[in-house]
Amino acid sequence: MTGRDDEMLDHEFDGIREFDNPPPNWIMWLLYASIAVAVGYWLVYQTFGVGSYPTTRYEAEMARAAEQQLARMAKVELNDRTLELMAAIPAKVGEGRKIFEQFCVACHGAGGEGSVGPNLTDPFWIHGGTPMQIHKTVTSGVPDKGMVAWAGQLGPARVQTVTAYVLTLKNTNKPGKAPQGEPEVAPAPGAAPAAAAGQTGAAAAPART
């Protein structure tokens, strides 16, 4: 094992001495390769952002699946499931957020935490917290309590997207206006949602609460 250039180092512990040998090449190549991979990883994921993390790809995949399912259900009348699918599509939620920022924050707060209007992030609802109940409140309003009937001003499509956005606020429990109304009760297991007839995949999908 001792090469020509080997030099004995001048320390000794309990009679053990060592040569000043370089580490074997294979271990050096392993080191260089890890450095190269680390630099490549850094460039691809951090600097240029051309690679997408598995979590990002997963979310994109889920959004795509929701879009496809929504497209298949396009002819079904609006129901809890279609609204929940919209709430799973970032593009729709983004549109909804813009509408919310424009028309709703004045009374419900920037994050839905409530001011004049109730807190939309707690589990308590005056008019019910299911997607269709929220949709109905936004559509028809509560005129004598100061909540506008938005269907006229926004039209059905924008009422749906803003409802989808409200669904993403639901149960985020932001500190704000004290709870009003009743806690939302989960529908009894096995109870078919009223408008579920004819929809696909509803039974398999867990309710987003």
Binder of ligand HEC out of 89, 162, 164, 167 (CB under 6 A): 162
Contact set for ligand HEC, span 176-205 (CB under 6 A): 180-181
Nearer to ligand HEC, 36 or 106 (CB): 106
| Closest distance to ligand HEC from the beta carbon of 105 (Å) | 8
Q: Is 150 in the site for ligand HEC (CB under 6 A)?
A: yes
**Least distance from ligand HEC to the Cβ atom of residue 148, Å:** 6
> Both ends of the chain: CA-CA distance in Å?
69
Q: CB-wise, 155 or 198, nearer to ligand HEC? A: 155
Residue pair 139/151 in contact (Cβ under 8 Å)? The answer is: yes
Q: Is the CB of 131 or the CB of 202 nearer to ligand HEC? A: 131
Kindly tell me which residue out of 65, 90, 103, 208 binds ligand HEC, with binding defined by CB under 6 A: 103
Residues 6+ apart with CB under 8 A from 18: 8, 9, 11
The yes or no reply on residue 88 touching ligand HEC (CB under 6 A) is no
Tell me, letter by letter, the H, E, C secondary structure of 103-160: HCHHHHCCCCCCCCCCCCCCCEECCCCCHHHHHHHHHHCEHHHCECCHHHHHHHHHHH
Query: What is the pattern of x (binds ligand HEC, CB under 6 A) and - over residues 109-148?
Result: -------xxx-x----xxx------x--xx---x--xxxx
CB of 38: closest distance to ligand HEC in angstroms?
47
CA 189 to chain centre: 26
* Nearer of residues 40 and 183 to ligand HEC, judged by Cβ: 183
Shortest Å, Cβ 150 to ligand HEC:
5
Q: Report the residue number, 146 or 198, with the smaller CB distance to ligand HEC.
A: 146
Name 16's bridge partners: 13
Q: Which residues make up the interface to ligand HEC (CB under 6 A)? A: 103-104, 106-108, 116-118, 120, 125-127, 134, 137-138, 142, 145-148, 150, 162, 166, 180-181
